[in-house]
Amino acid sequence: MYRLEVFRTPKKGWAVRSWDFIPAGAPICEYTGVLMRTEDVDNDSESDNNYIFDIDCLQTIRGLGGRERRLGDVSIPTVHNSDRPDDQRSESVPEFCIDAGSMGNIARFINHSCEPNLFVQCILSSHHDVKLARIVLFAADNIPPLQELSYDYAYTLDSVCGPDGKVKKMLCYCGAADCRSRLF
Ligand SMILES: C[S@@+](CC[C@H](N)C(=O)[O-])C[C@H]1O[C@@H](n2cnc3c(N)ncnc32)[C@H](O)[C@@H]1O
């Protein structure tokens, strides 16, 4: 495994980098935390939790985690919404999420980038329920030592609301040339 370090950034809080070279395709770490129903997190008006990972395998398969751009000419099978059962349509809110707010591992400190060097994969190891998949981050590139690790959080802009029901916005400081300016 790679020697990962948490370090402080000027504008994004904590971040993660590796002391070792990481080859493209290598598994980095699993995103661990408390498995929660998304509705329970959304209804918790007190929380301003920055460590929620929605388990959305369909989004991952479609490559919104940053992988599609990198695979470029490799074809990814398209799954049409109308072919899916209701509970698997992409517009539906993921039923479960991983809450790393109170408990988790180093993955909770990995920041978003619009030009990430990691991608997300849903892993089914002991069952076949995509709603409860495990989330693992892999290297999308050869990553030199001490380069910040990042993945695409893949928020839809204006999709996040505060306890008052108003749309919340968060500026993105990833520094990529094609930065989308906001996380959400
Ligand atoms: C999962 S945490 C990542 C670790 C976090 N930086 C920390 O200090 O604990 C997600 C939060 O980190 C910050 N963050 C992550 N990526 C960012 C980015 N590209 N630009 C600005 N803030 C970012 C935001 O506050 C976001 O809600």
User: What residues form DSSP beta bridges with 96?
Assistant: 37
From 111, 150, 182, the mutation candidate for ligand 1 (largest count of ligand atoms within 8 A of CB) is: 111
35 falls within a domain = yes
CATH number for the domain that contains residue 66: 2.170.270.10
Exposure pattern of 141-177 as b/e (b: 16+ CB <10 Å)? bebeeeebbbbbbbbeeeeeeeeeeeeeeeebebeee
Model ipTM over 0.90: yes
Residue nearest to atom 27 of ligand 1 (CA): 50
The model's confidence at residue 86, banded by pLDDT at 50, 70 and 90, is: very low
pLDDT score, position 159: 87
pLDDT score, position 162: 83
Q: Domain tally for the chain?
A: 1
* Whether pTM exceeds 0.80: yes
Structural domain of 129: 4-151
Q: How do residues 91-148 score in pLDDT, each as one tens digit? A: 567 999 999 999 999 999 999 999 999 999 999 999 999 999 999 999 999 999 999 9
